[in-house]
Amino acid sequence: MKKNLKIVLIVITILALAGAATGIYLYNLKPKDLGKVKPDFVVTSSELQSAFEENETAAVVKYVNKIVEVSGEISSVEPGENNSVNISLKTNSSYSSVICTFPSGVDSGKIKEGSQISIRGECSGYLMDVLLNNCVLAGGPATP
């Protein structure tokens, strides 16, 4: 009986150490630098929004958790939570847009409403607006 108890304790200890190592790894995992990653899709803001509006299920399968480079006209630049910046891109719909969330540290002073821009981000879904997170500028803003 003592031998079985010893084996069970060793197995539990190994599993606990593996779980702790996995937790530490995931805690310290940094997000991808999207400036260096090739996008899975390159589309306009209108094409991306239309894909979700026409067939949300198919668009979720195609775009969600993928790197998307989207280009379009800036409709608004607003501060977000934790010093982030939210840029909304115009679409053909008057009800929805593509919202791109940049992490803190982005100089939003150079980004002006009405200018054309290309943004690369990770698509996280559609809630009246298409949402892109962890965004970076794929190409500098152009003049309107």
Q: Are residues 12 and 82 in the same domain?
A: no
> Which domain range does residue 25 map to?
1-30
Predicted confidence at residue 4, as pLDDT, reads: 87
Residue 110, pLDDT score: 67
Query: Is 117 in the same domain as 64?
Result: yes
Domain membership of residue 7 (yes or no) is yes
Same domain, 78 and 54: yes
Q: CB 133: neighbour CB atoms within 10 A?
A: 17
Q: What are phi and psi of 8, to 5 degrees?
A: -60, -45
**So what's the pLDDT on residue 114?**
85
Per-residue pLDDT tens listing for the chain (144 residues): 688 889 999 999 999 999 999 999 888 877 667 777 788 899 999 999 999 999 999 999 999 999 999 999 999 888 878 778 888 999 988 888 999 988 876 666 667 888 888 899 999 989 889 999 888 887 544 433
Q: HEC string of 94-136?
A: CCCCEEEEECCCCCHHHCCCCCEEEEEEEEEEEECEEEEEEEE
CB 123 within 8 Å of CB 130: yes
The CATH number of the domain holding residue 77 is 2.40.50.140
pLDDT at 141: 44
Instruction: Tell me whether residue 87 is in a domain.
Output: yes
